[in-house]
């Protein structure tokens, strides 16, 4: 594979915007209206956040801002000033760790091409953080902003149910 270095020097024009990214403080020089998705993918090379429609319909760019799911294509840099941003790269809380949702997606086959998967996992993770034992209706509600074209959602639904089960097992044993 080719070297994945920054294609252009990180922009120096614009305002310096500071926020917390996956637990680390960062300062980025960017015009305040620059899209978060561009800063993540282009400036910071965090390409786990995907782009699919750029109008907030597909959910491939889903990230958490202060724990709430947001489409990074509709989020401007000034909106994350001083906030905590979590991307798929930080969802597990450590570089080698896997979130229960990630483990469940692996086990159940909740993905195929994988392009919607980071956004899907971010949405599922925040659902389980808020509702550890979601009903199917709650799962459907939480994931209805994330499109998948490969799986037909069966594997995704089973994976989120399984992740809730993993959570229950861990609470019992932990």
Indicate whether 24 belongs to the interface with other proteins (CB under 8 A): no
Indicate whether 164 belongs to the interface with other proteins (CB under 8 A): no
Q: At what angle do helices 117-130 and 136-143 cross, to 10 degrees?
A: 130
Indicate whether 147 belongs to the interface with other proteins (CB under 8 A): yes
Q: Which of 21, 30, 36, 48 binds other proteins (CB under 8 A)?
A: 48
State the SS3 of 30-84.
ECCCCEHHHHHHHHCCCCCCCCCCCCCCCCCCEEEECCEEEECCCCEHHHHCCCE
- Find where tokens 């390409």 sit: 47
Cα-Cα-Cα-Cα dihedral sign, residues 44, 86, 124, 147:
negative
Size of the site for other proteins (CB under 8 A): 62
Distance separating alpha carbons of residues 133 and 127, to the nearest angstrom: 9
Q: Which is closer to other proteins, CB of 10 or CB of 81?
A: 10
**Which range touches other proteins (CB under 8 A), out of 13-21, 28-36, 78-86, 112-120?**
112-120
- Find where tokens 């799986």 sit: 151
Q: Which of 17, 21, 37, 88 binds other proteins (CB under 8 A)?
A: 88
Indicate whether 43 belongs to the interface with other proteins (CB under 8 A): no
Tokens of 162: 């399984």
Q: Which is closer to other proteins, CB of 47 or CB of 79?
A: 47
Q: Is residue 160 exposed (0-12), middle (13-18) or buried (19+ Cβ within 10 Å)?
A: buried
Indicate whether 138 belongs to the interface with other proteins (CB under 8 A): no
Indicate whether 22 belongs to the interface with other proteins (CB under 8 A): no
Q: Which of 71, 75, 86, 87 binds other proteins (CB under 8 A)?
A: 87
Minimal distance, residue 44 CB to other proteins, in Å: 12
**Which range touches other proteins (CB under 8 A), out of 28-36, 75-83, 111-119, 126-134?**
111-119
């Amino acid at each position: 594979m080719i070297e994945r270095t920054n294609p252009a020097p990180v922009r120096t024009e614009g305002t310096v915007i500071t926020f917390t990214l996956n637990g680390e403080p960062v300062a980025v020089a960017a015009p305040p209206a620059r899209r978060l998705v561009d800063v993540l993918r282009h400036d910071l090379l965090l390409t786990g956040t995907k782009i699919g429609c750029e109008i907030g319909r597909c959910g491939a760019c889903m990230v958490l801002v202060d724990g709430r799911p947001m489409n990074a294509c509709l989020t401007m840099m000034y909106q994350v000033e001083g906030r905590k941003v979590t991307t798929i790269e930080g969802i597990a809380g450590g570089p080698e760790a896997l979130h229960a949702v990630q483990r469940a997606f692996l086990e159940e086959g909740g993905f195929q091409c994988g392009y919607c998967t980071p956004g899907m996992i971010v949405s599922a993770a925040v659902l389980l953080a808020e509702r550890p034992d979601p009903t199917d209706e709650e799962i459907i509600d939480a994931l209805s902003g994330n499109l998948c074209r490969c799986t037909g959602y069966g594997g995704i639904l089973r994976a989120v149910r399984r992740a809730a089960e993993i959570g229950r097992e861990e609470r019992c044993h932990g």
